[in-house]
């Protein structure tokens, strides 16, 4: 008898029939003799609607109240799924994050899990009850409801699997595994049977949202094997385990991240300490910066451009506008219509010309590069958002379809 944590994403629980379908899968698994803990996301589109509601009331908002609102989508699904499981004749009980409890720090909207109170789940399992846990949400030490960042139900599932020392964490979604790039964007994407933690970490952090980056970090830390598969079709699947990598290709995956926005501060005095002051202010506002470019200075002034998540843009703009006077800088401009496309591969650091090939592949499609960043195992380009899909297909064709 194995202990399995099954996570069902938004599309998998998108309507009452789909919820009933999930309930059948859960019950079948239990009747085959396994112990099952379920983690469920909000019905597809629901969290987006809640985020829009918050922003309509206050674009710059208290993140405690944001979490209070956006965490509610999951409460609906766990109740409905529990009822559907009960209707099939099994005992089941739903658990909000605070009822498990899933204890997090207080970084609202991007909280980190500190511990999972596994006793309640173990007690339910011992009584033959199927626990259905709300993904994405937790509770801080003071009792405030927190959320784990968009896509956070994956992280809930892996954290629960780690706490219970489950044999396997199954992530059910709307595609049948992890592909060389988003299969909904690129028809020629190939499914990977296996992927290592490190490769998946790169793919996820560059925007392959099939698994939230934090869930991959946790899985790696606690050695949780994760099987990603479709809740709609049988078979397929990608197993993520240690050292179970893709073929060691120069480029093993392509990803796009549409969640970035660009901030440009013009006419910044080119003096020591200025960049430090600017980015300290941004960090103090608890905003994570991704790419940064500073132009070569002409006549003692330069431009600094950086990217943040779209969700943080309004606060980033306000923060920077608050200190440009002190910095003696010019104007702040922002652009939300950008996307970051990346090629990822552990083989690329020993291979000259990979970046050049990427740039020429984009140039052939007439795509202008706004910013570039590189590391040993990836090259990322910021481009206009409208070209994101075209860029993914072109890069996949260049690096993953030639033989």
Question: Closest approach of Cβ 373 to ligand ADP, in Å?
Answer: 20
Cα–Cα distance, 16 to 145 (Å, whole number) = 27
- Helix, strand, coil proportions of the chain in percent (round to 5)? 40, 25, 35
Question: Closest approach of Cβ 60 to Mg ion, in Å?
Answer: 26
Query: Residue written as tokens 């946790």?
Result: 218
- 14 is a site residue for ligand ASP (CB under 6 A): no
Using DSSP's 3-state secondary structure scheme, residue 140 falls into coil
**Sheet with 378-384, side-by-side order of all strands:** 253-257, 338-344, 378-384, 371-375
Q: What are phi and psi of 240, to 5 degrees?
A: -105, 120
Using DSSP's 3-state secondary structure scheme, residue 189 falls into coil
From Mg ion, ligand ASP, ligand ADP, none, which one binds at residue 237 (CB under 5 to 8 Å depending on kind)?
none
Question: Closest approach of Cβ 357 to ligand ASP, in Å?
Answer: 34
> What tokens appear for 304 in the block?
């600094």
Specify the residue, 152 or 245, whose C-beta has the smaller distance to ligand ASP.
152
For 46, other C-beta atoms within 10 Å of its C-beta total 19
From Mg ion, ligand ADP, ligand ASP, none, which one binds at residue 378 (CB under 5 to 8 Å depending on kind)?
none
- 138 is a site residue for ligand ASP (CB under 6 A): no
Q: What burial letters (b/e) apply to 242-253, b meaning 16+ CB within 10 Å?
A: eebbbeebbbbb
Specify the residue, 178 or 339, whose C-beta has the smaller distance to ligand ADP.
178
- 229 is a site residue for ligand ADP (CB under 6 A): no
From ligand ASP, ligand ADP, Mg ion, none, which one binds at residue 181 (CB under 5 to 8 Å depending on kind)?
ligand ADP
- 136 is a site residue for ligand ASP (CB under 6 A): yes
- 213 is a site residue for ligand ADP (CB under 6 A): no
From Mg ion, ligand ADP, ligand ASP, none, which one binds at residue 73 (CB under 5 to 8 Å depending on kind)?
ligand ASP
For 311, other C-beta atoms within 10 Å of its C-beta total 18
For 359, other C-beta atoms within 10 Å of its C-beta total 15
CB closest to ligand ADP, residue no = 9
Question: Closest approach of Cβ 147 to ligand ADP, in Å?
Answer: 14
Q: Which residues, 6 or more positions from 395, have their beta carbon under 8 angstroms from its beta carbon? A: 181, 254, 341, 343, 358, 361, 362
From Mg ion, ligand ASP, ligand ADP, none, which one binds at residue 182 (CB under 5 to 8 Å depending on kind)?
ligand ADP
- 14 is a site residue for Mg ion (CB under 5 A): no
Cα–Cα distance, 293 to 303 (Å, whole number) = 8
Cα–Cα distance, 274 to 288 (Å, whole number) = 18
- 210 is a site residue for ligand ADP (CB under 6 A): yes
What track of x and - describes contact with ligand ASP for positions 40 through 59 (by CB under 6 A)? -xx----x------------
- 179 is a site residue for ligand ADP (CB under 6 A): yes
Question: Closest approach of Cβ 44 to ligand ADP, in Å?
Answer: 6
Cα–Cα distance, 39 to 380 (Å, whole number) = 33
Cα–Cα distance, 304 to 345 (Å, whole number) = 29
Taking CB under 6 A as the criterion, the residue among 63, 146, 156, 173 binding ligand ADP is: 173
Taking CB under 6 A as the criterion, the residue among 39, 139, 178, 327 binding ligand ADP is: 178
Cα–Cα distance, 104 to 93 (Å, whole number) = 22
- 11 is a site residue for ligand ADP (CB under 6 A): yes
Taking CB under 6 A as the criterion, the residue among 14, 97, 138, 152 binding ligand ASP is: 152
Question: Closest approach of Cβ 95 to ligand ADP, in Å?
Answer: 19
Do residues 161 and 69 lie in contact, with contact meaning Cβ atoms separated by under 8 Å? no
Taking CB under 5 A as the criterion, the residue among 14, 138, 151, 152 binding Mg ion is: 151
Cα–Cα distance, 260 to 308 (Å, whole number) = 6
Cα–Cα distance, 316 to 326 (Å, whole number) = 16
Do residues 270 and 300 lie in contact, with contact meaning Cβ atoms separated by under 8 Å? yes
Kindly indicate which of the ranges 5-13, 95-103, 215-223, 273-281 contains the residues binding ligand ADP, using the contact rule CB under 6 A: 5-13
Residues that bind ligand ASP (CB under 6 A): 9-10, 41-42, 47, 73, 135-136, 150-154
Residues that bind ligand ADP (CB under 6 A): 9-12, 41, 151, 173-175, 178-179, 181-184, 203, 208-210
């Amino acid at each position: 008898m194995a202990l399995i944590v099954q996570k069902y994403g938004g599309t998998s629980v998108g309507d009452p029939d789909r919820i009933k379908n999930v309930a059948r899968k859960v019950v079948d698994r239990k009747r085959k003799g396994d112990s099952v803990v379920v983690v469920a996301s909000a019905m597809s589109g629901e969290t987006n609607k809640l985020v829009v509601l918050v922003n309509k009331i206050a674009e710059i908002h208290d993140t405690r109240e944001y979490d209070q609102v956006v965490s509610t989508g999951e409460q609906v699904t766990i109740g409905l799924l529990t009822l559907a499981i009960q209707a099939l004749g099994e005992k089941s009980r739903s658990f909000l994050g605070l009822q498990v409890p899933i204890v997090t720090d207080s970084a609202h909207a991007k909280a980190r899990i500190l511990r999972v109170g596994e006793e309640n789940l173990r007690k339910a399992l011992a009584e033959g009850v199927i626990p259905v846990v709300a993904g994405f949400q937790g509770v801080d030490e003071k009792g405030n409801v927190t959320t784990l960042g968009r896509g956070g139900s994956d992280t809930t599932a892996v954290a629960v699997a780690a706490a219970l020392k489950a044999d396997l964490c199954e992530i059910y979604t709307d595609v049948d595994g992890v592909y060389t790039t988003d299969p909904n964007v690129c028809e020629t994407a190939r499914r990977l049977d296996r992927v290592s933690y490190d490769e998946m970490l790169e793919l996820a952090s560059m925007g392959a949202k099939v698994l939230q980056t934090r869930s991959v970090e946790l899985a790696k830390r606690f050695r949780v094997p994760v099987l990603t598969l479709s809740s709609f079709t049988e078979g397929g699947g990608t197993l993520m385990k240690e050292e179970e990598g893709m073929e060691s290709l120069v480029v093993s995956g392509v990803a796009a991240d549409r969640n970035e926005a660009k901030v440009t501060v013009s006419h910044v005095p080119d003096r020591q300490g200025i960049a430090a002051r600017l980015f300290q202010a941004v960090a103090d506002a608890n905003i994570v910066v991704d790419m940064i470019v500073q132009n070569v200075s002409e006549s003692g002034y330069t431009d600094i451009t950086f990217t943040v998540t779209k969700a943080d843009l309004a606060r980033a703009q306000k923060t920077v506008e608050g200190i440009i006077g002190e910095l003696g800088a010019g104007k702040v401009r922002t652009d939300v219509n950008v996307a970051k496309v990346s090629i990822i591969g552990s083989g690329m650091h020993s291979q000259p010309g990979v970046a050049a090939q990427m740039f020429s592949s984009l140039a052939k499609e007439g795509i202008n590069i706004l910013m570039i960043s590189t590391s040993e195992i990836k090259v990322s380009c910021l481009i206009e958002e409208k070209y994101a899909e075209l860029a993914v297909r072109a890069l996949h064709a260049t690096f993953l379809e030639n033989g």
